[in-house]
Amino acid sequence: MERMTEKYSFLRSLRNAFLTGLILLTPLGVSLFVFGWLVNNIGGRFSNRLLYFIPTLWRQNEDLQLIWNILATIILVLGVTLLGYMSRYFVGKWFLSATENILDKVPFINTVYKTVKQIVQTFSTQQRAVFKKTVMVEYPRKGVWVLGFLTSETKGETQSKTQQKLRNIFIPTTPNPTSGFLLMIPSDEVHELDMSIGDGMKMIISGGAVVPPFPLEDEDQIALNIENPTEEQVVES
């Protein structure tokens, strides 16, 4: 009885091992089958056309036929893949251009679309240099302070009319920083902060719930100097 049980257990273990090996080899077998089908049916049919630059004597050599079929298959697959990438790029670009042209002809929507597009471009990573420094100014009255971002020094007609040295300050709204106010404030009334532009934006979006630590640690100060270089550092570089 015990021998029968041991024999049955051995056969069951042997069966399980065979099934396990079969399961492991199935993906490999399917892959080899598909690859062989592609090489024989696709590469074999187009090898003469795709490998026209190879001498005919070499291409008709039976011993090298498998190599030519594999090479033709690889070239064909790469060509189809490249065609897919190119079509996706050009079709996507054409679709975006056509959509913009349609929106541009719809009243009211065209204004909203252009405004949103301009805002997105302004706050994109490519345009992040538009904010040079996090600042604090008194607004809308004395004794009330707000966070803002220095965008540039005031120039042109506005500078000439006031006869003052002004700085352009963007004051974002909370919690949506894509809207706000442009203030042209005398330079002596603009107080620059050590916090980075990213920390300033977090504080504005959170409504003051997220406050960056102060004073800055040495590592934070180094990162701040990299993110917001001073005019002297820019000149030296």
Q: What is the pLDDT of residue 27?
A: 79
Give Cβ neighbours of residue 93 (< 8 Å, ≥ 6 apart): none
Q: Which amino acid, residue 227? A: E
Predicted local confidence at residue 172, as pLDDT? 92
Preceding omega of 140 cis (within 30 degrees of 0):
yes
Please list the ranges in the chain whose pLDDT falls under 50: 126-127, 222, 231-237
Backbone Cα Rg of the chain: 34
| Residues making up the chain, counted from first to last | 237
State residue 3's pLDDT score. 63
pLDDT of residue 97: 80
The Cα–Cα gap between 208 and 166 comes to 27
Contacts for 189 with CB less than 8 Å, ≥ 6 apart: 137, 138
